[in-house]
Structure 1
Amino acid sequence: MSIYNKINAGFSLGTDEPITSGIEDVIYIFNADDIVLTYDTTNPLIVKGLTAVSNAKVYKFEGTNNSFNTTSKLAKTQVGPRYTEEIDFNIAGLSVEVKAQLMAMGYGRVRAIAVNNYKSSDSAIELFGAVNGLILTDAERNAADESLDGGYKLKLTNPDKMKEPYPPRAVSIAPTSGTATYASTIAAIEALVVTA
């Protein structure tokens, strides 16, 4: 009997490019049905294109002092491995516009792109919620919390009973001519970002 997937490579920890923890103080969030994902035909773990539907946009959230974090956890299920994906971040504000965005993220599905501090990898930029999307599951505000100046602590994660079939996808987008690089991928994402 053959198993569904088989390992096909090994790896070792390198001393030339030691891994670095954390993500940059920026995440890109978009409505799940606003951007069409194009996957690499030979590797479903790579997103090689993002296409806006009807001029939809990507929204850029910026923070400071390591205020964003991502988590991916393996969960064994009866049909195989699934992954719970989470993104924690803070919002320094409590306007009605902020509250409207929180409500939208709680009811609608979004996807999010995070940029790892560790750049020496083909997964320097990762997409969370590729298949089932993410929803806002935690939005906590303590008015006396001095670390956030009374802002919100937020958590985006998969909807109940809808874990992801793959770990976070690598995002690697090539320019119109040439091969994909970190710079070309960031440029492609930024081209879809809403400008004020």
Structure 2
Amino acid sequence: MSIYNKINAGFALGASEPVTAGVEDVIYIFNEDEITLTYSTTNPLIVTGLTAVATAKVYKFEGTNNSFNATSKLAKTQVGPRYTEEIDFNVAGLSVEIKAQLQAMGYGRVRAIVVNNYKASDSAVELYGAVNGLVLTEAERNAADEALDGGYKVKLSNPEKLKEPYPPRAVSIAPQSGTATYASTIAAIEELVA
């Protein structure tokens, strides 16, 4: 009996670059059908390119004091492992424009790029919702909440019954000439920012 996928390497954590928890206070969100993804031909876990469809843009959300969090959870199913991906963030405001964006995230599907605090990995930048996208599943506002000054607590996660077949994809985009680095990846994303 053949196993669909087999491990082919080990790993060790080095003391010179210890793992660091958390993500940066920035998240990049774009409509699922407006940015085309290019994957590595040798590894489907690596996104090597982001291409805008027509004049589409990536939208940058910035926060402070660890206001963003990203989670990926394995769920064993009858057809194999699937991953639930979630991104939590706070929105400091309640303007009509903010409400319109939250409404759009609830109806349409988006994808999100997070930047990990741990930069000594080829997964320093990760894409969530690569296959099935993300939708707004929670948007809670408590007007008396002093921690958020009456803003929104927001959660993006996979649509109901549509988990991801892979863990969050690494985003690693090379410059025109040369190899991909953290700096070249962030520069490529920033080029698409509205």
CA drift of 1:6 comes to 0.2
RMSD: 0.3
Quick check: 1:182 aligned with 2:182?
A: yes
Instruction: Write out per-residue CA displacement over residues 85-119 of structure 1, whole angstroms, 9 at most, x where no aligned residue.
Output: 00000000101110000000000000000000000
Partners of 2:120 and 2:95 in 1: CA distance: 39
Q: TM-score, normalised by structure 2?
A: 1.00
3-state SS of the aligned residue for 1:131?
coil
3-state SS of the aligned residue for 2:6?
coil
Unaligned runs of 5+ in 2: none
Aligned to 1:39: 39
Aligned to 1:84: 84
Aligned positions of 1:168-179 closer than 5 A:
168-179=168-179
3-state SS of the aligned residue for 1:137?
strand
Aligned to 2:64: 64
CA drift of 1:135 comes to 0.1
Instruction: Write out per-residue CA displacement over residues 38-93 of structure 1, whole angstroms, 9 at most, x where no aligned residue.
Output: 00000000000000001100000000000000000000001000000000000001
CA drift of 1:163 comes to 0.1
CA drift of 1:13 comes to 1.6
Partners of 1:47 and 1:12 in 2: CA distance: 24
Q: What stretches of structure 1 move > 3 A for 4+ residues in a row?
A: none
Letter in 1 for 2:58: V
CA drift of 1:15 comes to 0.5
Aligned to 2:137: 137
Letter in 1 for 2:60: K
Partners of 1:152 and 1:164 in 2: CA distance: 26
Letter in 2 for 1:177: S
Partners of 1:90 and 1:135 in 2: CA distance: 16
CA drift of 1:12 comes to 1.1
3-state SS of the aligned residue for 2:29?
strand
Partners of 1:190 and 1:21 in 2: CA distance: 24
Aligned to 1:18: 18
3-state SS of the aligned residue for 1:72?
strand
Q: TM-score, normalised by structure 1?
A: 0.99
Aligned to 2:149: 149
Unaligned runs of 5+ in 1: none
